[in-house]
Amino acid sequence: MLRSTVSRFASRGTRVVTQRFASTKTLKETLQEVIPGKQEQLKQLKSEHSQTVIGDVKVENIIGGMRGLKSMLWESSVLDPNEGIRFHGLSIPDCQKQLPAAPGGKEIIAESMFWLLLTGNIPTEAETRQLSRELAEKGDLPTYVEKLIDGLSPSMHPMTQLGIGVAALNHDSVFQKAYETGIKKSDYWTYTLEDCLTLIARLPALAARIYRNVYKYGAAAPPISKDLDLVGNYTALMGYGADKDLTEYLRLYISIHGDHEGGNASAHTAHLVGSTLADPYLAYSAALFALAGPLHGLANQEVLRWQLAMQKELGDNITHQDIKDYLWKTLKSGQVVPGYGHGVLRKSDPRFIALQEFCDSRPELLASPTIQLVKKTYEVAPGVLTEHGKTKNPWPNVDATSGCVLYHYGLTEFKYYTVIFGVSRALGALTQLVWARALGLPLERPKSVSMDALQDLINKGA
């Protein structure tokens, strides 16, 4: 049995009728069931445990960028130093087994991961397909954004262009318009959700338009297909729709890279700006500019540069000893080994392991000299870094392999890699914006101190 739902798109003033199975729920309906329980849990924590001490603030936390300080609420994922990332308690292998894939595919897709992050529930295949179609129907860019992006210089960094485009989309923010007319706080999340869905839907068209303008000289893109998932449309819009292996890789990468708790710079920035009640477009554009920093989102391109430089210097038939010598050369020159170490993790990044398993399942990747070098480096680098003694975590993170696989599949434009990261990280950051509004989280406002004030506190404590 089918039932129809009708939605209106303000940007085009048209009515679109979609159909769904009566046995499925929409994402919004699922959230309406989940939110009251979370609100009650938060109410209980506030009333019964507000004075419970869960940790000490040390001087190193204050002057060390708040590293490791438990100080923010983030519902969709938890990052354990030894276990790695879990999404509502599920590991990456758990998600690979349970979350629906695209028709004919095997890898997780962004829609099923977004559903899990937002609701804590595993979507059915029908619910996932329904969400894919909803996003495809919302995916076209407004004409004013197309003109804006087309008018930017191709020499402008793709991440700068992405941030500009996302910020400009706030012209259509339903949350902003509703807030200006006066709405109840209990309804904030519904308008925020609508903005977040529209932003996620439009990110592939925006990111692909930037790619074509910068690297393909404005080549025309195909129309968005209502029968494809988000990433399927993204690769098609970039001009790689025929490459099914690249599409499957990006499905996996974007899904498992979509959230990594809230303390990383881009996620935290989205949360901070969102706490001012800025709309999701403004909050996420700020997050993208944090992601563009060399210490955050640019790491995957740095890994690939380093790997290619090693290949060029060492030539063919690279041995483990060759790699060991090159690692020591890098370290003795005062440089870090890119792709190794992590601000929280103290083991091999489960995302790295998942991407390596993807490579192991495809003969063409196993035969790639670049991918072979990634694998050999993994076999040598932890020992060298442990012997070096200045790295808390000598194990690889996701960046140790992510860019190298893109390079193999022909996406060789390094500067664009962080844009793909930006498309993926929207899943988690925008999830949190919805929950921040649903739970009524306050404006984020930590207390700062000067060095003299800090010394006074130290003296008083002593």
348 Cβ contact list (under 8 Å, min separation 6): 395, 396
Whether the CB-CB separation of 409 and 246 falls below 8 Å is answered with yes
Using DSSP, state whether 18 is helix, strand or coil.
Answer: strand
b/e code 210-236 from CB counts within 10 Å (16+ = b): bbbbbbeeeeebeebeeebbbbbbbbb
The DSSP bridge partners found for residue 85 are 79
**Annotated catalytic residue within 229, 268, 399, 408:** 399
155 Cβ contact list (under 8 Å, min separation 6): none
d(CA 277, CA 192): 10
d(CA 132, CA 111): 6
Phi, psi (degrees; rounded to nearest 5) at 14: -110, 155
b/e code 278-303 from CB counts within 10 Å (16+ = b): bbbbbbbbbbbbbbbeeebbbbbbbb
Whether the CB-CB separation of 84 and 347 falls below 8 Å is answered with yes
Of 117, 210, 154, nearest in space to 418 by CA: 210
Of 57, 82, 83, 75, nearest in space to 118 by CA: 75
**Annotated catalytic residue within 257, 268, 271, 342:** 342
Give CA torsion, residues 402, 408, 409, 412, to 10 deg.
80
Does the active-site annotation cover 342?
yes
Of 129, 83, 94, 140, nearest in space to 347 by CA: 83
Give the amino acid at 179.
Y
Whether the CB-CB separation of 416 and 359 falls below 8 Å is answered with no
**Annotated catalytic residue within 296, 322, 325, 388:** 296
Whether the CB-CB separation of 255 and 246 falls below 8 Å is answered with no
b/e code 430-453 from CB counts within 10 Å (16+ = b): bbbbbbbbbbebeeeeeeeeeeee
Distances (CA, A) of 130 to 27, 70, 127, 232, 275: 9, 37, 5, 15, 30
Does the active-site annotation cover 399?
yes
Q: Is 277 exposed, middle or buried (0-12, 13-18, 19+ CB in 10 A)?
A: middle
Active-site residue list: 296, 342, 399
